[in-house]
Structure 1
Amino acid sequence: MDASAIPPIRSDELQDAVAKVVAVGPPFAVQPMTIRGVEYPAVFSISQVSLREVLALKTAENAGKELIVYNDERYTTGEVWARSMRFAHWLNAQGIGQGHRVAIAMRNYPEWCMAYLGIIASGATVVPLNAWWQADELRYGLTKSEAKYVVADAKRAEIILPCKDELGLTFIAGREEITGQDHRLKDIIADESLPTDMPQEPIDPDSDYCLLFTSGSTGNPKGALLTHRGVVNAVLSWSFMLEAMKILRPEIDLSPENPGALLSLPLFHVTGLHSIFLLGYLSGRKLVFTYRWEPEEAARLHREEKLTHFLGVPTMAYDLVKASQPGDLDTLVDIGTGGAKRPEAQTAFQRERFPEISASSGYGLTETNALGSHIALGDYATKPSSTGRALPPVTQIEAFSEEGKQLPRGEVGEICIKSPANMRGYLGNEEATRNAFFEGGWFRTGDVGRVDEEGFIFIMDRLKDMIIRGGENVSCLEVENALHEVKGVDEVAVFAVPHENLGEVVGAAVYGSSDLDLEALQNHAKDRLAPFKVPTRIWRSPTNLPRGATGKIDKKVIRQVTSENEPHFQRGDD
């Protein structure tokens, strides 16, 4: 059956299905609740306990099911939980628990998830550090978070080692041996003297469960404080929508038996961590890890592991569809994307090659626990430029004026999200926290758009000076600051350059001395920044960069001029 030919969902249909799922009761029962002074008409009742307790309930249900597959390694939910609880009790024995933060600095490995679950169960706050960060960025994250224990792999440990003593860090080798290691995770999780049951000290559901750093227009990453109640409401919302779809479109089976998904997105991002790992854990999905993104290998894994769901950035979805041969995706029911808008041409290409596989897309942010809107099936086919409706039953999305007034449907303004999944605030930055919300708990996304009469959201532009390269947020100011360090650079403007596969890549216009070496400029950026932040297209301006009426550099004019002229330097795997 052609998934795109399924009739679009009417608003009254959706409301009726939502009411039916809520009426069934736990785990989808909701109730009004006031959180941090904000009144919410609907909050999942089960979120009155911590994420640890919710995970424990699902562990009991799925203990014998395969959870993680990595190369020839296979772990059931029960095995992962037992190892994680040993780590939790070990942390408690070191005096680490509520009020403390523990960092993870490693690529995707099964041990990443075991460390993550153990930190949560101990009562401490987990701090997933971006594994693509370089030395200055990792130092900043560790300093800002005040995490003293770090679970690291060999590459990240090598980068962090110079500041280990200065910051008073304790290194826990996450998988292989690491330089400067104080403990090995594999020893801890195999220690049979440690309990495998859940620690019993209560955890306040409104306490911080996770500190995730998100790039912003201020240059340095901001640390979003996410609570247990927030993440539980986010993950349950996705599960809720699957239940609603069974009522709305029973002819399409989006929840097949023996579900499985590829985990190819980094776990230090909310999409990989919440939308794939946590949702997979709580719904009993098998998760197949990949060492790196290779489309042909991904297609093979889908065929051999009989995977049913895929979620990635648009580039990955396109790569998978293009690389797959007949038979590779026979068990796949949905290809979802997030992190950036999926080009309509890529969605059409999927429908042409695999019409029976649903195309879907989601919209959310780090600050909202990735919860926001969702679109699939006939809705996606008829409104391909929309990011969908707000996910029921606890999320509201509307457009607001600059003054913070909710706008009538159809009018263009800043897209704002109200949900119990919204972050508590930014770590150590009260001003940024105040500026992030309008009155009534509405989080300001920084995106400009409109909401139509049926509730569909259309994103049109961004208020924030941000580039989204293949789902990775890049702060223009941060890149500009790095380029300004190069001798001979007088003015710099960093901006998004459209790209067919990645959506956007990093471009830069520079004005400076006539002997400025643009290749050396890029090399400096490579030394200072994560690879995805490095400009791959650089234009040299013969005069001062254009300015607007206020004296600020006019990036709108720069984008126009550069779009009409080839870059003076272009290099990079983009």
Structure 2
Amino acid sequence: MSGKSNPLADAPPLELQTLIEAAMKLVGTDPQFAITEAEIRGNKYRVFANAPRHLRTIFADSAKFGDQDFLIFKGERLSFAETWSRVCRFAHALENELGVKKGDYVALAMRNYPEWCIAYMAIISLGAVVVPLNAWWKADELEYGLRDSGAKIVIADARRLEYLKPLHEKMGLTLILAREEGEGADFRYEDLLAGSSNTEEPQVDIDPEDDFSLVYTSGSTGQPKGVVLTHRGAVSTLWSWWFVVNTLTLARDGISPMGENPGILLAVPLFHVTGSHSIFMMSMIIGRRLAMIYRWDAKDAARIIREESLTNFVGVPSQSYELTQSVDPGEVPTLMDIGSGGAKRPPDHVKKLKEKFHNANPSSGYGLSETNAIGCVISQNFYQERPDSTGRPVPPVTDIKIVKDGKDVARGEVGEIWIRSPANFRGYHNLPEETAKALTPDGWFRTGDLGRMDEQDFVYIVDRIKDMIIRGGENVSCLEVENRAYEHDGVAEAAVFSVPDDKLGERVGLVVYPKDGAQLHPAELRAFINEELADFKTPERIWISPSPLPRLGTAKFDKITVRKIALEHPPALAI
């Protein structure tokens, strides 16, 4: 594809009415997008009448792309057909050698590798529940995830294996080492795969409402919560995005926003729904090549995009911004779409992206782990005209409304964003009270994000209710970091809050008040916190308060005042 081969680069603005009419035509005339009604957990929802019943069908159907490249990692290439063959072989190995059966929990603890993708699909294809653990977690965090989920089998890379070995006997784990060299595992992924020759699709019966994944997300409650996702939920998300692709293609007279030879860079972790859903699993529906980058580096990312002629990029806002700083105009001419997920993209980035990558259109989406990543989407001229919007509700089975004090607010007014769709999660694992707080009896998910909706249904996020920081797309619970700070002998009071940052959106800030007579050294305190918490949760700005922290009438810390005062003064430590 040449630098001028993207016909959408200079296409006239798309009218909203044209897009709406294309969507209505698809629903009415294309059987794959026909809508019906189904009862899910006691509530009626609009659902796709003819979508696959479960994810294994989507995985198996991807084999129709045959010898086309699918997974690309460094010098390795796996076709769609070969990938599905390995998925089946590994699934049968898990079943025959380790006794994995429907409903079992099997964890993944590794960085982005082709083996992650194959193991993920194999576990799901058996009707088991995959538990993608955060690869940045350390030993205590990994132990928490395994204890909470009950997963006894873990497929890990060498670094995670080192964290897990002390838990091997204590928790009765079965450890499978993938790709890398290491000691202490019960099995090697490569050996299990080599010893299995059955390439037939597993025949385990899977119901649309069966669980397929337990994803951990940090919220305001301290410990990460396990989000229980069902097959119907994920399929509803993937089919909705497929509907959007087809709607845009129809509205643009047959020109697909994915390009003629679609390819995407995987630059975000697969253990988040942005990586697993919008990049990885969506690629199987589109027939899109998936090029993996070993470690994020903007120059290296540009090289891979150029060498592989990739058409799509999805990353956290800081990554797309770093691309603008690292490449020259015209250096990645095949790029058609630069998507953003995991955090809100600063509005001025949209203009800078379009200026630097003339052939590409910036786009953005809004979704959460609890919604299988679906919510809003915005792209093409709509995003350039409204760079502060997160888009309109993804059609045709997702509803969004703005609520304040239990009532829908008028257009333009700020309230909490609520989402309702068949993609919503079943609940928080072993947390019925938290589930009841998050899901209304009639099926609406309270996101904890504050926003408004305009007359044309475009949603704008303005704040959030949760005591949480989003650092480069990673959710950080303020309470979890505070709890760790209080374990230090010298800390009397601690308050964690977000620090604005041009690159990552937000960084983790901490104000502490020492105990009487204690001498707190910020660098030592940070190292202490980092011993137990992942790097992305560890405070990067630390202030030592000379006086007790201000409190509200409820005796809680007045975090608004704490944050305001702190940001007016230089921190004692800045990383």
Output the TM-score relative to the length of structure 2: 0.96
The runs of 5 or more residues in structure 2 that have no matched partner are 1-6
1:437 aligns with 2:439: yes
- The aligned counterpart of 1:195 is 198
Cα distance, 1:47 vs structure 2: 4.2
d(CA) in 1 for partners of 2:8, 2:130 = 42
Bigger Cα displacement from structure 2, 408-417 vs 13-22: 13-22
- The aligned counterpart of 1:515 is 519
- The aligned counterpart of 1:447 is 449
1:242 aligns with 2:245: yes
1:186 aligns with 2:186: no
1:51 aligns with 2:51: no
1:558 aligns with 2:562: yes
Q: 1:310 aligns with which of 288, 313, 331?
A: 313
- The aligned counterpart of 2:120 is 116
Cα distance, 1:410 vs structure 2: 2.3
Q: 2:21 aligns with which of 1, 8, 16?
A: 16
- The aligned counterpart of 1:262 is 265
Q: 2:466 aligns with which of 443, 464, 467?
A: 464
What whole-Å deviation, never above 9, does each CA across 1:22-81 have from its counterpart, x for those lacking one?
A: 2333432221111111111x211234611102221232x212211011111110011111
One-letter amino acid of the structure 1 residue matched with residue 438 of structure 2: A
d(CA) in 2 for partners of 1:546, 1:2 = 54
d(CA) in 1 for partners of 2:158, 2:363 = 37
Cα RMSD, aligned residues only? 1.5
What whole-Å deviation, never above 9, does each CA across 1:117-147 have from its counterpart, x for those lacking one?
A: 1101111100000000011100000111111
One-letter amino acid of the structure 2 residue matched with residue 30 of structure 1: I
Bigger Cα displacement from structure 2, 26-35 vs 527-536: 26-35
Q: What does residue range 121-132 of structure 1 map to in structure 2 within 5 Å?
A: 121-132=125-136
d(CA) in 2 for partners of 1:568, 1:201 = 58
1:165 aligns with 2:143: no
Contact 1:253 1:333 in 2 (8 A): no
3-state DSSP of counterpart to 1:398: strand
Q: 2:488 aligns with which of 463, 486, 489?
A: 486
3-state DSSP of counterpart to 2:348: helix
3-state DSSP of counterpart to 2:418: strand
Q: 1:119/1:551 Cα in 2 relative to 1: closer, same or farther (>3 Å)? A: same
Corresponding pairs, count: 566
Q: 1:502 aligns with which of 489, 501, 504?
A: 504
1:370 aligns with 2:373: yes
Q: What does residue range 55-204 of structure 1 map to in structure 2 within 5 Å?
A: 55-59=59-63, 61-93=64-96, 94-191=98-195, 193-204=196-207
Q: 1:291 aligns with which of 294, 308, 314?
A: 294
Q: Percent identity?
A: 49
Contact 2:214 2:226 in 1 (8 A): yes
The runs of 5 or more residues in structure 1 that have no matched partner are none
d(CA) in 1 for partners of 2:445, 2:82 = 38
3-state DSSP of counterpart to 1:46: coil
One-letter amino acid of the structure 1 residue matched with residue 470 of structure 2: I
One-letter amino acid of the structure 1 residue matched with residue 26 of structure 2: V
d(CA) in 1 for partners of 2:50, 2:255 = 29
3-state DSSP of counterpart to 2:268: coil
What whole-Å deviation, never above 9, does each CA across 1:451-490 have from its counterpart, x for those lacking one?
A: 1111010111100000000000000000000111111100
- The aligned counterpart of 2:303 is 300
Cα distance, 1:179 vs structure 2: 2.4
What whole-Å deviation, never above 9, does each CA across 1:64-110 have from its counterpart, x for those lacking one?
A: 21101111111001111111111111222232121201000000111
d(CA) in 1 for partners of 2:170, 2:203 = 34
One-letter amino acid of the structure 2 residue matched with residue 249 of structure 1: R
Q: 1:48/1:300 Cα in 2 relative to 1: closer, same or farther (>3 Å)? A: closer
- The aligned counterpart of 2:4 is none
What whole-Å deviation, never above 9, does each CA across 1:475-515 have from its counterpart, x for those lacking one?
A: 00000001111111000000000001100000011101451
- The aligned counterpart of 2:37 is 32
One-letter amino acid of the structure 1 residue matched with residue 218 of structure 2: S
What whole-Å deviation, never above 9, does each CA across 1:284-313 have from its counterpart, x for those lacking one?
A: 000111110011111111111000000000
One-letter amino acid of the structure 1 residue matched with residue 530 of structure 2: K
Contact 1:51 1:232 in 2 (8 A): yes
3-state DSSP of counterpart to 1:445: strand
3-state DSSP of counterpart to 2:507: strand
Contact 1:5 1:377 in 2 (8 A): no
Q: What does residue range 212-231 of structure 1 map to in structure 2 within 5 Å?
A: 212-231=215-234
Q: 2:280 aligns with which of 277, 282, 288?
A: 277
d(CA) in 1 for partners of 2:254, 2:94 = 48
d(CA) in 2 for partners of 1:19, 1:525 = 53
